[in-house]
Structure 1
Amino acid sequence: MPAKNSHLVISALGNDRPGIVNQLSKAIFELDCNITDSRMTVLGGEFAILLLVEGPWNRLAKLEDLVPELQSELDLTITTKRTEERSGQANLLPYGVDVVSLDHPGIVYSLASFFSDKNINIEDMTTSSYAAAHTGTPMFSVRMNIGIPADIHIAALRDEFMDFCDSMNIDAVLEPIKG
């Protein structure tokens, strides 16, 4: 039976330019490690990377030792943290939340507070600002995946969430994630 793999989270940030993903993924591949989950995006002029890397503990240790060289070579700020495989969340129902609003400060905070107060975990979130078609009005959108505890009455939560969104003058949808 093969030895159980270890897990390492890598966070990297640096000026956006072609080739960053190629060079970082090559270093991981050459150590016989595997990227099992990732998020990568351009924020302003910076490229941000989050990776979950899996491999034998000694290969991950070599990767950790390689970080100073990678930082210099790739001109990135890199941090690492050992982690465990995520345990199953059997009692959580996966739901998606989509929100669109006129852009103003505090939208993310208000949404996070609403769900936090109900012990609902935000598992993934993406936000963006954009100009509305035709008018150019500054708009803000949020896409979240949340885990709702199975003992929460979904219809009541949806009603409360829609009332909350109406009070903030934001359009929202709360629906199960299919598949």
Structure 2
Amino acid sequence: MRSRDHAREPLLNTTAPRSGSEHYLLIQTLTPAAQSPLLALTRRVADSGCALGDARVNTLGADVSVTLLAQGAWDAVAKLETALTRMARDPDLHLVSYRSGPRQPQQHLLPYLIEVIAADRQGVLAEVLDFFAERQISIEQLGSQRYQAMQTGAEMFSAQITLGIPAELHIAALRDEFLELCDGLNLDAVMEPVKY
């Protein structure tokens, strides 16, 4: 974002000494991709005495979305909030932040990865998501994109979705239902457990 920031490396894995209980601040920004605030944000997190618990960056069209979860002592999080208020004065930067909390363990949810590829058509992602919503299966992560196939130039769609499947669901039956849906929609799909 600023030339002086480019000379310094972001400290994505910085840990700071903690005093008292841990506090969390969720930060979301949208800005033109050429002005990505990632480096400036990670520097503010480190300078405030917070650590980065999670970070996500996505370029969507001409813009970039940065989502960070900072954690630290109450005073460190308050210092970070003050720094973010100053950053938010930039008219090209859309910044939202709020106090959050740690994610509660979800031991009853099994992580599965879905990959879908198809000829692009309107509403295909909504139909896939509706299948899981009807079964109360949570979407943990999602990435989708449209692109042109190199060989033919055909308009294509692909999605990678990480699910949290309730442990009481019968996985083989769910997989069969999902693949039957995909056959009906003419989608090529894979469903497999996340191996990490």
What's the TM-score bracket when you normalise by the shorter of the two chains?
over 0.9
> In structure 2, what is the Cα distance between the partners aligned to 1:158 and 1:25?
40
Q: Residue 136 of structure 1 corresponds to which residue in structure 2?
A: 153
> In structure 1, what is the Cα distance between the partners aligned to 2:50 and 2:44?
9
Q: Residue 97 of structure 1 corresponds to which residue in structure 2?
A: 114
Answer yes or no: is 1:88 the counterpart of 2:135: no
- SS for the counterpart of 1:72 is coil
- Paired residue type of 1:131: Q
The TM-score, its normalising length taken from structure 2, stands at 0.86
Answer yes or no: is 1:114 the counterpart of 2:131: yes
Q: Residue 46 of structure 1 corresponds to which residue in structure 2?
A: 63
Answer yes or no: is 1:75 the counterpart of 2:92: yes
Quote the offset at 1:107 in angstroms.
1.7
> In structure 1, what is the Cα distance between the partners aligned to 2:112 and 2:36?
35
In structure 2, do the counterparts of structure 1 residues 19 and 141 end up closer, same or farther at CA, with 3 Å as the change threshold?
closer
- SS for the counterpart of 2:169 is coil
- Paired residue type of 1:108: L
The percent identity for this pair of structures is: 35
Quote the offset at 1:128 in angstroms.
1.1
Quote the offset at 1:17 in angstroms.
1.6
Q: Residue 79 of structure 2 corresponds to which residue in structure 1?
A: 62
- Paired residue type of 1:32: G
> In structure 1, what is the Cα distance between the partners aligned to 2:36 and 2:133?
38
Between the two proteins, the alignment pairs up a number of residues equal to: 179
The TM-score, its normalising length taken from structure 1, stands at 0.94
Q: Residue 4 of structure 1 corresponds to which residue in structure 2?
A: 21
- SS for the counterpart of 2:122 is coil
Task: Note if contact 2:117-2:158 (Cα within 8 Å) is conserved in structure 1.
Answer: yes
> In structure 2, what is the Cα distance between the partners aligned to 1:177 and 1:93?
9
> Aligned-pair RMSD on alpha carbons?
1.6
Structure 1: segments with no counterpart, 5+ residues: none
> In structure 2, what is the Cα distance between the partners aligned to 1:73 and 1:35?
23
> In structure 2, what is the Cα distance between the partners aligned to 1:158 and 1:19?
39
Task: Note if contact 1:11-1:50 (Cα within 8 Å) is conserved in structure 2.
Answer: yes
> In structure 1, what is the Cα distance between the partners aligned to 2:174 and 2:106?
20
> In structure 2, what is the Cα distance between the partners aligned to 1:58 and 1:113?
42
Quote the offset at 1:86 in angstroms.
0.5
- Paired residue type of 2:163: I
> In structure 2, what is the Cα distance between the partners aligned to 1:133 and 1:45?
22
Structure 2: segments with no counterpart, 5+ residues: 1-17
- SS for the counterpart of 1:90 is coil
Q: Which structure shows the bigger proportion of residues in strand conformation?
A: 1
Task: Note if contact 2:36-2:64 (Cα within 8 Å) is conserved in structure 1.
Answer: no
- Paired residue type of 2:162: N
